[in-house]
Structure 1
């Protein structure tokens, strides 16, 4: 799954923020190789902040200090000056505490519902969390930067979906199972128990409570739309990303899943990254020619930009999982 999401992210890096027309004019009607042209300067074969944050999260779990280890690892990634950082993500991680996301969300006027949590949340499944523990951890890790209930419950859905797919469930059946998990889950209590909501973030807690029911309804609607072939946008809004990923990721091959996300542009690297996670959970094989050149486009404590992903991912995953 980690190699799959990284390769998909790197394939989408060149088309990020471009229109489908501009993409077709520059790259043609098909993108099967890594390309130049990233607006953030990523070289062909380099994955973006999406995969970097997945890896940073895994490096955090390897510290064996729970959510605190994850926060510190993500903050070290940010401090190293990555070329692309979302606004709410940066504001939250600069606080470098468990309630940083809630405090940043409060300061934004409760407007931030981007896909910065969803794009990295596969790390929780990769780190070995399952069942109820997976849902709890997905909620908490997302809320470290994006505590809007749409972001939190989208991550609960996605990780449950990945678990069901990896367990052999068919695509639509896995989505139905994941929706049931999402509908029954009490994320607000989890965030209170984790220390993400507290005395300094009472406003965020109240906003979450008031919007929680509506968020679940929005996610149900977008999941059903995506499964039915609907696509609102490939914007950075979390529910647009979730819907688009579900539309694309049910195809028969890895390339057929990922390429439509790449060709539609806008936030193509993030949509492709989420699609890649789903394709990985389904067991679809990444084309071999995309694996050898795969790198991450940034260096920070625990990772070097020139490291080959195929060589260094196995040890990373092993260190992040329970002993």
Structure 2
């Protein structure tokens, strides 16, 4: 419970730091903020105030509120739709389309409408919620696949999420950074996400074509996830774009530093989709047990109101209840 809560606060604080630099170039960031970035700053393109976390952390919290309904994936989907209906300022196109469908297979249908090309990071950025809610082992992998596919059904997105939550579990269990990643990659290679999505009712009779597309692409998706994780472990970074594998690789590269700020600050300073990369880095740093600088916690808020959460609420006061309510009985 303690590690789950600290991980949630960690990813939200990292997200809030990245909010000011999102979609900006490294050159502009350094000109505007200087060579270091260790406190919340103004300048968010979506109007988030200093200390407010973005849609990334909001969707993590909404997912946890969904688990509190005790309705499985349908409860998560309902909670995410309530968040979307409240008009958050920063929502990805695929997320909006998938949740707008109002069905469990909305993510599959949105992926199909993209001609099976869309593989954004909107599932990866919120998937730590599944581990925070207390899923472990094989159930963690199955649930991670299902929660991701609610909005992002491309196998690259699904297997990236399966890897990340397995990695969080291994890191929390005390494995070293690289060894934990290799352990999570083995689980990812062995996991049958397509079967999990069929069992969950996300693939069905009406989405046979998408099921075939997933089947034809999943072996390659596993290989791409493996390659990007190992590239990140080796210090490589392709970009901080919104493409799911770019985000994953960047997070792997950044999150191995010795301190929380050493992990998060490079993601913030590189800009582009910095809030999402920082959010994923924050989740990894939290699972490792790295402490958020205490000065960042009092001002931390989520930058939107929706059923179950008010924008003015301090995260340190209200997220503990969200985590408790989401825990598996």
> In the alignment, what sits opposite 2:137?
131
Tell me, what secondary structure is at the counterpart of 2:263? helix
Aligned ranges 1:91-106 → 2 under 5 Å: 91-106=97-112
Q: CA deviation at 1:97?
A: 1.5
Alignment of 1:109 with 2:132, yes or no, is no
Tell me, what secondary structure is at the counterpart of 2:20? helix
Q: CA deviation at 1:204?
A: 1.2
Q: CA deviation at 1:238?
A: 0.3
Q: Does the CA contact (< 8 Å) of 1:62 and 1:319 recur in 2?
A: yes
Aligned ranges 1:64-213 → 2 under 5 Å: 64-213=70-219
Q: CA deviation at 1:107?
A: 1.0
C-alpha RMSD of the superposition: 0.5
For 1:59 and 1:266, the matched residues in 2 are separated by 29
Q: CA deviation at 1:123?
A: 0.1
> In the alignment, what sits opposite 2:286?
280
Gaps of 5+ in 1: none
1:235-278 CA deviation, whole Å, 9 max, x = no partner? 00000000000000000000000000000000000000000000
1:2-46 CA deviation, whole Å, 9 max, x = no partner? 000000000000000000000000000000010000000000000
1:24-76 CA deviation, whole Å, 9 max, x = no partner? 00000000010000000000000000000000000000000000000000000
Q: Does the CA contact (< 8 Å) of 1:103 and 1:200 recur in 2?
A: no
Structure 1 runs, 4 residues or longer, greater than 6 Å off: none
Out of 214, 239, 244, the residue aligned to residue 238 of structure 1 is 244
Q: CA deviation at 1:111?
A: 1.5
Alignment of 1:300 with 2:297, yes or no, is no
> In the alignment, what sits opposite 2:3?
none
> In the alignment, what sits opposite 1:228?
234
Q: CA deviation at 1:96?
A: 1.8
Alignment of 1:262 with 2:229, yes or no, is no
TM-score calculated relative to the size of structure 1: 1.00
> In the alignment, what sits opposite 2:11?
5
Q: CA deviation at 1:202?
A: 1.3
Q: CA deviation at 1:199?
A: 1.6
Q: CA deviation at 1:322?
A: 1.8
TM-score calculated relative to the size of structure 2: 0.98
Q: CA deviation at 1:95?
A: 1.0
Give the aligned length. Answer: 323
Out of 241, 246, 257, the residue aligned to residue 251 of structure 1 is 257
Gaps of 5+ in 2: 1-6
1:121-168 CA deviation, whole Å, 9 max, x = no partner? 000000000000000000000000001000000000000000000000
Q: Does the CA contact (< 8 Å) of 1:16 and 1:268 recur in 2?
A: yes
For 2:208 and 2:297, the matched residues in 1 are separated by 46
Q: Does the CA contact (< 8 Å) of 2:135 and 2:328 recur in 1?
A: no
Q: CA deviation at 1:283?
A: 0.2
Tell me, what secondary structure is at the counterpart of 1:15? coil
> In the alignment, what sits opposite 2:54?
48
